[in-house]
Structure 1
Amino acid sequence: MKILILLIVIVVLGIVGWFAYGSVSTKPTTQITAKPKVIGTIYFRPQHTDALEGFKEGMRKLGYTNKDITYDDVVILAGPKMEEDVNKAVQKLIADKVDILFVSFESSAKVALDVTKKSGSDLPIVFTTRFHDPLNYGLIESYKSSGNNATGVATNLTQSIQKTLLFFKEINPKAKRIAAFTDGFMIPGISDAILKELKDQAPRFGLSIVEYKTQKPPSLAKENWVEVADKIKLGDIDGLIHLPGHFYDSDDHGEGKSQEADETLLANRLHIPFVVPSEDLSSGGSFAFSDDFHASAGQAAVMVQKILNGIKPKDIPIEYGSKSLLILNLNRAREAGIQFPESMLSIANIKIDK
Structure 2
Amino acid sequence: MRRRKFVTLLVGAATWPLAARAQPVGKRYTIGYLGAGSLVLVEAIAAFTDALRELGWIEGKNVAFERRFAENQPERLAEFAAELVHLNVDVIVTEGTLAPLAAKRATSAIPIVMAVAGDPLGSGLVESLARPGGNVTGMSLMAPELGGKRLEFLKELVPRLGRVAVLWNATNPYAALLYEQTQAAGRTLGIEVQSLEVRSPDDFDSAFETVRQHHPNALITVEDPLTGSNQKRIADFAAIDRLPSLFGYRESVSAGGLMSYGANFADLFRRAAGYVDKILKGVKPADLPVQQPTKFELVINLKTAKALGLEFPASILARADELIE
User: Considering the TM-score relative to the shorter chain, is it more than 0.5?
Assistant: yes
- Does the aligned pair in 2 maintain the 1:187–1:246 contact within 8 Å? no
Matched, 1:208 2:192: yes
**Shift of residue 74 of structure 1?**
1.9
**Alpha-carbon displacement from aligned partner over 1:84-125 (angstroms, at most 9, x marks no partner):** 2221111111111110111121210111001114xxxx0000
For 1:218-237, what aligned pairs fall within 5 Å after superposition? 221=203, 223-232=205-214, 236-237=215-216
> In percent, how many aligned pairs have the same letter?
24
Q: Measured at CA, do residues 145 and 212 of structure 1 come closer, stay the same or move farther in structure 2, by a change above 3 Å?
A: closer
For residues 310 and 246 of structure 1, the distance between their equivalents in structure 2, rounded to whole angstroms, comes to: 31
SS in 2 for 1:65: coil
**What do you get for the CA RMSD once the two structures are aligned?**
2.8
- Does the aligned pair in 1 maintain the 2:30–2:65 contact within 8 Å? yes
For 1:36-55, what aligned pairs fall within 5 Å after superposition? 36-43=28-35, 44-55=37-48
TM-score with structure 1 length normalisation?
A: 0.75
What residue is the counterpart of 2:290 in the other structure?
318
Unaligned residue ranges in structure 2 (runs of 5+): 1-23
Unaligned residue ranges in structure 1 (runs of 5+): 1-31
Question: How many positions carry a matched residue from both structures?
Answer: 298
For residues 135 and 323 of structure 2, the distance between their equivalents in structure 1, rounded to whole angstroms, comes to: 40
TM-score with structure 2 length normalisation?
A: 0.82
For residues 232 and 153 of structure 2, the distance between their equivalents in structure 1, rounded to whole angstroms, comes to: 27
**Alpha-carbon displacement from aligned partner over 1:206-262 (angstroms, at most 9, x marks no partner):** 322123579xx9786355245434324xxx4332112456989988xxxx9723421
Aligned counterpart for 2:26 among listed residues 5, 20, 34: 34
Matched, 1:111 2:102: yes
SS in 2 for 1:258: helix
Matched, 1:262 2:256: no
What residue is the counterpart of 1:165 in the other structure?
151
Matched, 1:175 2:161: yes
For residues 239 and 273 of structure 1, the distance between their equivalents in structure 2, rounded to whole angstroms, comes to: 5
For residues 59 and 337 of structure 1, the distance between their equivalents in structure 2, rounded to whole angstroms, comes to: 43
What residue is the counterpart of 1:140 in the other structure?
126
For residues 161 and 304 of structure 1, the distance between their equivalents in structure 2, rounded to whole angstroms, comes to: 30
**Shift of residue 172 of structure 1?**
2.6
SS in 2 for 1:326: strand
For 1:182-331, what aligned pairs fall within 5 Å after superposition? 186-189=169-172, 191-211=175-195, 221=203, 223-232=205-214, 236-244=215-223, 258-266=233-241, 268=242, 272-278=243-249, 279-331=251-303
For residues 340 and 42 of structure 1, the distance between their equivalents in structure 2, rounded to whole angstroms, comes to: 38
**Alpha-carbon displacement from aligned partner over 1:3-53 (angstroms, at most 9, x marks no partner):** xxxxxxxxxxxxxxxxxxxxxxxxxxxxx9511111111234232333322
- Does the aligned pair in 1 maintain the 2:260–2:299 contact within 8 Å? yes
| Rg (Cα) greater in structure | 1
AA aligned opposite 1:341: P
**Shift of residue 69 of structure 1?**
1.9
**Alpha-carbon displacement from aligned partner over 1:45-73 (angstroms, at most 9, x marks no partner):** 23233332221111112232243322222
Q: Measured at CA, do residues 318 and 227 of structure 1 come closer, stay the same or move farther in structure 2, by a change above 3 Å?
A: closer
What residue is the counterpart of 1:6 in the other structure?
none
